[in-house]
Amino acid sequence: MRAITLGLLLSLCLLPAHAAGPLESLLSRTVNTVGTLAGGTTEALDPLLIGATQLTPPYLDHVVIRLQGNNLVLAAGTAAFDASFQHNGRTRRFVVIRPEPVVTGAPVLMLFHGNAGTAENQANITEVADLVAAEGVWAVMPASVDGVWDDDPARPKGYDDVGFAAAVIDQLQANFPINAQRVYAAGLSNGSFMTLRLACELSGRIAGFGIVAGSLTGGLESACTPAARRPLMLVAGTRDLIVPYNGGRIGVRSVPQTFSFWLGRNGCNPAQTLSSALPDIASDGTTIALQANTSCGNGAEVRLYTVTGGGHAWPGGWQYLPVPLIGTTSQDMSATQEIWEFLQDSHL
């Protein structure tokens, strides 16, 4: 971040809603709140209720705004809003960071937050606003019910998050100028488990997937019958104590087993997997090795980025909790940029 230090941003992200004070005063001077988006208005659109759009002032590289009491970092050339609608008797919500001005026919990257996380926090950890500014993609962060995704068909939570994800895509397609043929999904931790479920059950609507700090559960493995083969990449740290690289927790497969599973699902020849090392550009005690297989059906490449020394983290993003709790966040690559470059040419 050029205009705001990482430490300040992290403190802002964790700031309680009741502790806004000077921050709200700052935002009232630097952030414009407008009532239009792509020629529409912020009034209730049946069935989607769209919040006011907040813009980044042209004289700032980054700014922190507030959505529903949560802090969200925007980059120059971006704007943000949140929206909500009824799904299966519940009010469900998602956050959008879009290019400013609006780009017609833009692709969408959906980002699913971790356990107890928020839509805004997922955007901050991944620094996706910078990607939006640079590439013109729309970033969409759905919000879970009570901070937990319904990620495993063997352990239903009582609400339908696969249906919710499909409904978000429907809302985006109906209300905004996005390209529904180029919708991608990625997630961190619990959000990556949810993304794996979407790869199994919503490949007819989503053109590719990025999995960070997550692995396959036995319940999902036995139920996974994708309608279409889509590119999928895994990013996993060898010192992840929450989702161990080598598995071992009840019902959770190892990362290599998950990689092998998707090679099979995508019709890849395992013997044609190629290995390489990424440049070790940061002195953070981590290195990254890539295994990639392009022999798959329908061009559905499968990749595994093994972050040796890396923790339960999003490489290139924020160290969102202390190292003793989640391990080291590698800075040898940007998972956000890598996911985008891997998926951007894929379409339904």
CATH number, position 79: 3.40.50.1820
CA torsion through residues 85, 86, 87, 93, sign = positive
Confidence of residue 20 (pLDDT cuts 50, 70, 90): very low
Domain membership of residue 226 (yes or no) is yes
Judge whether residue 3 has pLDDT over 80.
no
Confidence of residue 84 (pLDDT cuts 50, 70, 90): very high
Q: How far apart are CA 235 and CA 156, in angstroms?
A: 26
Domain membership of residue 348 (yes or no) is no
Domain membership of residue 266 (yes or no) is yes
Q: What is the pLDDT of residue 103?
A: 82
C-alpha distance from residue 337 to each of 75, 132, 175, 204 (Å):
15, 10, 27, 24
Q: How many domains are there within the chain?
A: 1
- Give 3-state DSSP helix, strand, coil % of the chain, rounded to 5: 30, 30, 40
The residue with greater pLDDT, 33 or 206, is: 206
Confidence of residue 158 (pLDDT cuts 50, 70, 90): very high
Q: Rounded to the nearest 5°, which phi and psi values hold at 132?
A: -60, -45
CA angle 93, 96, 69 (to 5 degrees): 60
Confidence of residue 40 (pLDDT cuts 50, 70, 90): very low
Which residues lie closer than 8 Å to 30 by C-beta, 6 or more apart? 57, 60, 63
Residue 54 near residue 81, CB atoms below 8 Å: yes
Which token pair is 107? 């692709």
Q: Rounded to the nearest 5°, which phi and psi values hold at 140?
A: -125, 120
Angle between helices 128-135 and 335-343 (to 10 degrees): 40
The residue with greater pLDDT, 28 or 168, is: 168
Confidence of residue 2 (pLDDT cuts 50, 70, 90): very low
Q: Rounded to the nearest 5°, which phi and psi values hold at 62?
A: -145, 155
Of 130, 123, 139, which is closest to residue 172 (Cα–Cα)? 139
Domain membership of residue 1 (yes or no) is no
Of 346, 10, 15, which is closest to residue 186 (Cα–Cα)? 346
Q: State percent of the chain over pLDDT 90.
A: 83
Confidence of residue 15 (pLDDT cuts 50, 70, 90): very low
The residue with greater pLDDT, 276 or 27, is: 276
Which token pair is 118? 């928020």
Q: Residue 252 gets which letter from DSSP?
A: B
Domain membership of residue 148 (yes or no) is yes
In terms of residue numbers, what domain contains 105? 6-343
Mean pLDDT of the chain: 88
Q: What is the pLDDT of residue 199?
A: 99
Domain membership of residue 92 (yes or no) is yes
Digit-coded pLDDT (tens) for 134-156: 999 999 999 999 999 999 999 99
**pLDDT (mean) for 155-183:** 96
Residue 323, CB-side half-sphere exposure with 13 Å CA sphere: 8
Digit-coded pLDDT (tens) for 65-75: 999 999 999 99
Of 290, 232, 291, 220, which is closest to residue 266 (Cα–Cα)? 232
Domain membership of residue 91 (yes or no) is yes
Q: What is the pLDDT of residue 59?
A: 86
